[in-house]
Amino acid sequence: MQWHEVCAHPDLQNLPFKLELNEYGQIVMSPARVYHSILQGEIAALLKSQRSEGRVLTECAIHTHKGTKVADVAWASPAIFERIKQEIECSIAPDICIEILSSANTNREMEDKISLYFSRGAKEVWLCDPEGRITFHIPAEVLSQSVMFPGFPQQVVY
């Protein structure tokens, strides 16, 4: 299955799950809990409040060589946003891709997603745990703060 088919399929509309495609075109579903939605909204609002330029995206579909992955929150610079704004799935990753973790996520899965986002051009990948603690990743390194958003808190309180 291709991402445009997932988006167009009537039976897959309005599901209470995050949908992604794996490298075999199979649908992978993850249920979202309330804390996930709260953190997604808080992170998006903080990003928007810290920089007026660029765009905040939620549930951002990104084409990778291992299927379509969906960043929970992303931030795209004006130049990147212009390139992706009309696409069904992003051909290149936004500058920052953010994943909000659940107990179902494995370390291997997150390492894989980090690698995939960087391979598509992301400059930073952030992981947010269920308590709102964020780790900031650049290729081959974990930082104590974001390079692109140096004032972003290490923990989002909700």
Can you list the alpha helix ranges (DSSP code H) found in 33-137?
Answer: 34-50, 78-84, 107-119
* Per-residue pLDDT at 154: 97
Q: How confident is the model at residue 16 (pLDDT cuts 50, 70, 90)?
A: low
State pLDDT tens for residues 21-59: 788 888 887 777 889 999 999 999 999 999 999 999 999
Tell me which residue has tokens 């995939």: 116
C-beta of residue 93 within 8 angstroms of C-beta of residue 120: yes
* Per-residue pLDDT at 107: 93
Domains located in the chain, CATH noted: 33-143 (3.90.1570.10)
User: What is the rounded distance in angstroms from the CA atom of residue 151 to the CA atom of residue 133?
Assistant: 15
Buried b (16+ CB within 10 A) or exposed e, 41-51: ebbbebbeeee
Edge-to-edge strand ranges of the sheet holding 141-143: 55-64, 67-76, 96-100, 124-128, 134-138, 141-143
